[in-house]
């Protein structure tokens, strides 16, 4: 695990028990499998010396999630922001995803965004 360019990253995604369409379950696994993969990613990144901050968003509490995100973006400095594949790919939450991207861009315009392609995509994004 060499070649990492980021030292502190904010990684966000849906809470593990969010209802996923069948095609996303086929791609990523059930909620328990997804949580295990995400925990593994945080462990791997932290083991490589990268500080990770996790934000688990509940799509049923969008305003709270946006307020939490805004607070994290203003309180801390990040080398990158990872946006999980579930946020990006879930067909019911496209507008929420776009709002999150816009909030990140307007609050921290110089911080690169990483759009992951699955629960373990953040590792590749940090390289």
**What is the DSSP code string of 65-86?**
HHHHHHHHHHH---SEEEE-HH
Mean pLDDT of 44-48: 88
Least Cα distance to 8 among 56, 45, 55, 63 occurs for: 45
Mean pLDDT computed over 23-34: 88
**Strand order of the sheet with strand 8-14?**
51-57, 8-14, 80-83, 113-115
Under a CB-based contact definition with an 8 Å cutoff, are residues 103 and 68 in contact? no
pTM equals 0.87
Q: Which CATH architecture has domain 8-119?
A: 3-Layer(aba) Sandwich (3.40)
Q: What average pLDDT does this structure show over 86-110? A: 95
Tell me the mean pLDDT in the region 1-6: 58
Cα distance between residue 4 and residue 37, in whole Å: 19
Query: Quick one: residue 3, left, alpha or beta (phi over 0 = left, psi -120 to 50 = alpha)?
Result: left
């Amino acid at each position: 695990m060499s070649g990492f360019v980021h030292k502190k990253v904010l990684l966000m995604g849906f809470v593990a028990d969010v209802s996923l369409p069948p095609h996303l379950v086929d791609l990523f696994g059930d909620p328990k499998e997804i949580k295990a993969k995400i925990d593994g990613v945080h462990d791997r990144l932290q083991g490589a010396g990268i500080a990770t901050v996790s934000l688990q968003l509940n799509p049923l509490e969008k305003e709270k999630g946006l307020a939490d995100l805004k607070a994290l973006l203003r309180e801390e400095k990040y080398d990158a922001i990872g946006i999980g594949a579930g946020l990006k790919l879930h067909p019911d939450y496209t507008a929420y995803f776009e709002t999150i991207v816009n909030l990140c861009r307007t609050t921290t315009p110089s911080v690169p965004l990483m759009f992951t392609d699955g629960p373990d995509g953040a590792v590749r994004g940090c390289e």
